[in-house]
Structure 1
Amino acid sequence: MKIMFIGDITAKIGRRVVGKLLPKLRDKYDLDFVIANAENATHGKGLIFNHYELLLDAGIDAITLGNHYDDKNEIRQYIDGAPEILRPYNLKEDYPGVGTALFVSEEGIRVRVTSLLLEAFMNIDVFNPFFAFEKLLNEESASDIHIVDIHGETTAEKLAFGFEFDGRVSAIVGTHTHVQTRDYRILENGTAYITDVGMSGPYNGILGVDKEKVIARMKGERGPFTYDNSDDAIFNAVIIEIDDESGKATNIFPIYQIVKEKDL
């Protein structure tokens, strides 16, 4: 089975580049299933219903979130009717929706997708992701394939999680930092791993944000971050190849593509 995981879709440019490239990439790589982190899809923070529908129309099968899961309050009203969305599984607050779900591919393969928030520097009250995920593995129904999005700041915490659960899931992919790392690999016991998939969004900003706003903030000024809607785009993803019988990963490789504004 071939699964694509798309890095944090950020703002309008991110939505546009996904809509432009994904249909072609699905055909080019003969993809069976597509997952994307979309916690930044609406103006950089959160996900409104219209943008959720737009991403499904683009060809995304499952959507994970992160620390901005609740930044657009309307998600509380629609998430229970949006089975493709996985908010963080290990939230302490009683929040609607689910953090893990079982999908069935057209070929009948059971694909579980789980969204987790890590702890370091995240400033959100969550259950320890290691203990929470161990509990999940012991309680949830079995799947043929299991893909886990670990949304966090630090390389060390992500690597620790990868090594801890190597061999027990098909892939562990990091999100949140918006910069694609080069450490993609198959771990010793057959789990595909990357510290961060990267971002799909404005290319000439700083992590997707208007660079002038970020520079001003670094100089002590205050003001809201904005996102340039007339920029070139970057598209970051990984493709994971998985043995249908064992659920082990056999290959993982990155997609890192720049698209000029005129071509969006």
Structure 2
Amino acid sequence: MSEAAAEPATESAPELFRILFLGDVVGEPGRKAVAAMLPELRDELKVDFAIVNGENSAGGRGITPKIAISLMRAKADVITTGDHIWDQKEIISFLGDEPRLLRPVNYPEGAPGKGTLILQTKKGKVGIINLQGRTFMRDALENPFSVINEVVDEMRRETPIIFVDFHAEATSEKVAMGWHLDGKVSAVVGTHTHVPTADERVLPNGTAFQSDAGMCGPLDSVIGSQIEPVLEKFLTQLPAKFGVARGPVRINGALVTLNPATGKAVSIERIARTWEE
């Protein structure tokens, strides 16, 4: 009797890496919703790493040290920001002490804090880049398309897993950045407009992209603000104070699944949940 031929060895599928990104947290309602929902989402979606944009978490404008700590206690591994990062003055010294709170990397040299971070996880190192656009934005920062090249090249020496939060107003600028970084980073996800876009996809060279993740803020609002003052402003053109709205909160974000060996994305999925206190 001849011996049975041995079965050919098969390569096991690579263990995937999942990054959950939550869009701009707006005010107390957004903070409470993220604190309640993020731990649950991490378990439900089998998340390995969570990033939260907290730039509107202090009354809709900026972030404070206390809020940043509370978001990290709610299992946010890193907090990104944007053009409102300086609105709460006490955050300036905190930026120098807490590396997990980022400000846009393309601020001029000498600005407090940093715009990049690499953290070790059980499945390898993860690089995070906070970047801000220039089109229709209030701050004239360094050209993000020029700055990002050197930043990504340096980060890729340590890890292929790189997530970019591109905080920008113009959809065209965000889409262009996605194509600019396709194949160089794992994901480019936009923030700032507070409205989630339906253009999530994996670009041809393996970069997950979405123009805007949306916000974690009040559902019945105008991008997080109370409806009546905003309508009054549009109707009269007179100055008005926009307070943060109340009621049910919509948690918006994106789940990026990637191969940790290559850093290339396998999929990107919009995440949307409603939370009521």
Q: Output the TM-score relative to the length of structure 1.
A: 0.95
* Residue ranges of structure 2 left out of the alignment (5+ in a row): 1-16
Structure 2 partner of 1:167: 183
Corresponding position: 1:63 with 2:79:
yes
Q: Which residue of 2 aligns with 1:50?
A: 66
Q: Deviations over 1:88-118 (max 9, x none)?
A: 000126311100111111x151100000110
Question: Unaligned stretches of 5+ in structure 1?
Answer: none
Aligned equivalent of 1:242:
258
Number of positions where the alignment pairs a residue of Structure 1 with one of Structure 2: 259
Asked whether the equivalents of residues 92 and 125 of structure 1 are also in contact (C-alpha less than 8 Å), the reply is: no
Moved over 6 A (4+): none
Q: Is 1:182 matched with 2:198?
A: yes
Shift of 1:256: 1.2
Quote the residue 1:127 is aligned against: 142
Match of 1:222 among 230, 233, 239: 239
Higher mean C-alpha displacement, 90-99 vs 16-25: 90-99
Distance 2:92 2:31 in 1: 21
Distance 1:259 1:56 in 2: 19
Q: Distance in 1 between matches of 2:201 and 2:208?
A: 6
**2:228 match: secondary structure:** helix
Is this contact kept in 2: 1:61–1:84, CA < 8 A? yes
Q: Distance in 1 between matches of 2:189 and 2:225?
A: 23
CA RMSD of aligned residues (A): 1.1
What's the counterpart of residue 226 of structure 2?
Answer: 210
Q: 1:122-147, CA deviations, whole angstroms, 9 ceiling, x for partnerless residues? A: 02021100000012123444213000
Q: Distance in 2 between matches of 1:25 and 1:199?
A: 16
**Mapped contact 2:208–2:268 kept (Cα < 8 A):** yes
TM-score w.r.t. length of structure 2: 0.91
Give the Å deviation of 1:9: 0.5
For residue 11 of structure 2, what is the aligned residue in structure 1? none
Task: Look up the match of 1:195.
Answer: 211
User: Quick one: distance in 2 between partners of 1:160 and 1:144?
Assistant: 21
**In 2: Cα distance, 1:48 partner to 1:247 partner:** 33
2 CA distance for matches of 1:223 and 1:92? 32
Distance in 1 of aligned mates of 2:153 and 2:38:
35
103, 107, 116: which one aligns with 1:100: 116
In 2, Cα distance between the equivalents of 1:23 and 1:151? 25
Could you tell me how far apart the structure 2 residues matched to 1:60 and 1:258 are? 19
Paired residue type of 1:221? L
1:147 is matched with 163
Residue 109 (str. 1) matches residue 124 (str. 2): yes
Give the match's secondary structure for 1:234: strand
